[in-house]
Amino acid sequence: MTQFHDVTIAGAGPAGLACALSLAENGLRVAIVDPAPETTLAVPSFDGREIALTHHSRDWLVRNGIWPHIPAGAISPLRTARIETGQEAPGNHSAALLFRAPETTSDALGYLVPNHLIRKAIHEVVRERPEITILAGRSVVATSGNRDEAMTLLDNGTLIRSGLLIAADGRFSRIRQTRGIGAIIHDFGKEILVCRMRHPEPHDGVALQWFDEGQTIALLPVADDDQPGHLSSLVLTLDPADIAVLKTMSKAEFDRDITRRTQSRMGDMRLESARCTYPLKTVFAHRFETTRLALIGDAAVGMHPITAHGFNLGLRGQEILCEEIARGDGDPGSTSVLRNFERRHRRATAPLFAATNGIASLYTHDARPALALRKAGLAIAERLTPLKALVTGFLMDRDHAA
């Protein structure tokens, strides 16, 4: 069986769904394919990720009618970002680099929202659009492109013919590989464990990123619920063998271990969710396009989570692509559309990808000279007001230049 659409998207993750919506806004007919069944796409399960949305991303979700689909009680304002490195005497956490929203605004730096709720909200809006056909429970197994069209073969034998195929199939994108697009893959040799913890001390909207010796810990503020205590998302980076032990130890042992690792700064920690793990590999595709194919989301740029920009850049990428399609001559997969997208998205992502990998490598390297450099770097940055203002502006992302 053959289907015809203006654009085909492989992958109904947040980037693919957002892109389908933007294309529909441009009046295009879109097919979006994902191996997950419709029930999973409609109600994705908790995956541990709390996404720090920039103002730009929040505004995009508002403009596209998605924000009201996210329960207000699940949105947590991020008031301060606090960065620490190495070991202080227990209880002395004063040597830190702090970023706050400018005092002239009452705004937060950003907004933390659980990833599965973002996915659910975008899906609720997408499924109401008649221009979008969701092909759930189906995988893309082969793709090709020529001067005139993109051809996409699904695992049930369906062939989709369209002007453009967009690969939004995640950081280990099979489509990127089979179409011969290489990628810079940086394997940090670590794994990340993410889960929710309850604790007696309030977090006051502070996100902590602590590059400790032998471990990296982030504690991200999560909105309170109706139970006693407060909630944070724990993001713990360790060697894979240590993560495997933590993932399977009893809840009581885990609670004790995390209380010790966090030096009781929030009081006794209690596990409140599933423990989810991710390999720490970052990816930057050598190219974001080839004949009748564009890469977006993590398939194009899979960021290190420390700067919390993967989804934010994924949204930005699909915006750029859709702007170029709207500006073009009506052919969504023309060479000029794809080249302009490539140029603009590379400019928007390459410096940040390189800087993030560099900082992550330095701040997770525990040799003595690196430790000294880390501490000196934080102390200098804390005193450099213009640098802090620049980074704060970047974290909030109010500018629309790309």
* DSSP-based three-state secondary structure for 273: coil
Judged by CB under 6 A, which stretch of 20-28, 99-107, 306-314, 383-391 contacts ligand FAD?
306-314
Judged by CB under 6 A, which stretch of 14-22, 94-102, 124-132, 385-393 contacts ligand FAD?
14-22
Give the residue with the Cβ less far from ligand FAD, 175 or 269.
175
Give the residue with the Cβ less far from ligand FAD, 109 or 371.
109
Q: How many CB atoms lie within 10 A of CB 329?
A: 7
Helix residue ranges per DSSP H, 143-279: 174-178, 240-248, 251-261
Which bin fits 31, alpha (ψ -120 to 50), beta or left (φ > 0)?
A: beta
* DSSP-based three-state secondary structure for 226: coil
Binding characters for ligand FAD, 33-72, by CB under 6 A (x = yes): xxxx------------x-xx--------------------
Give the residue with the Cβ less far from ligand FAD, 56 or 344.
56
User: What is the secondary structure of 319-380 as a DSSP string?
Assistant: HHHHHHHHHSSS-TT-HHHHHHHHHHHHHHHHHHHHHHHHHHHHHT--SHHHHHHHHHHHHH
Q: Token match 């919506």: residue? A: 21
- 305 interacts with ligand FAD by CB under 6 A: yes
Give the residue with the Cβ less far from ligand FAD, 88 or 188.
188
**Cα–Cα distance measured from residue 14 to residue 115, given in angstroms and rounded to the nearest whole number:** 8
Judged by CB under 6 A, which stretch of 12-20, 245-253, 322-330, 358-366 contacts ligand FAD?
12-20
- 99 interacts with ligand FAD by CB under 6 A: no
Of the residues 14, 145, 221, 333, which one makes contact with ligand FAD according to CB under 6 A? 14
> How many residues are given for the chain?
402
Judged by CB under 6 A, which stretch of 21-29, 100-108, 286-294, 302-310 contacts ligand FAD?
302-310
Of the residues 114, 145, 163, 310, which one makes contact with ligand FAD according to CB under 6 A? 310
Which 114-143 positions form the footprint of ligand FAD (CB under 6 A)?
A: 115, 139-140
φ, ψ for residue 143, nearest 5 deg? -140, 155
Give the residue with the Cβ less far from ligand FAD, 211 or 311.
311
Of the residues 12, 181, 306, 395, which one makes contact with ligand FAD according to CB under 6 A? 12
**Cβ distance 174 to 285 under 8 Å?**
no
- 272 interacts with ligand FAD by CB under 6 A: no
Of the residues 5, 6, 7, 15, which one makes contact with ligand FAD according to CB under 6 A? 15
Judged by CB under 6 A, which stretch of 5-13, 120-128, 321-329, 339-347 contacts ligand FAD?
5-13
- 314 interacts with ligand FAD by CB under 6 A: yes
**Cα–Cα distance measured from residue 84 to residue 57, given in angstroms and rounded to the nearest whole number:** 27
Q: Give the CA dihedral 280, 349, 46, 219, nearest 10 degrees.
A: 70
Question: DSSP class of residue 43?
Answer: S
- Cα 136-286-60 angle, rounded to 5 deg: 50
φ, ψ for residue 194, nearest 5 deg? -125, 135
CB 40 → ligand FAD: shortest distance, Å? 9
Write the single-letter amino acid at 324: E
Give the residue with the Cβ less far from ligand FAD, 9 or 371.
9
- 342 interacts with ligand FAD by CB under 6 A: no
φ, ψ for residue 27, nearest 5 deg? 85, 15
- Residue ranges binding ligand FAD (CB under 6 A): 10-16, 33-36, 49, 51-52, 115, 139-140, 168-170, 174, 192, 194, 235, 278, 297-298, 305, 308-312, 314
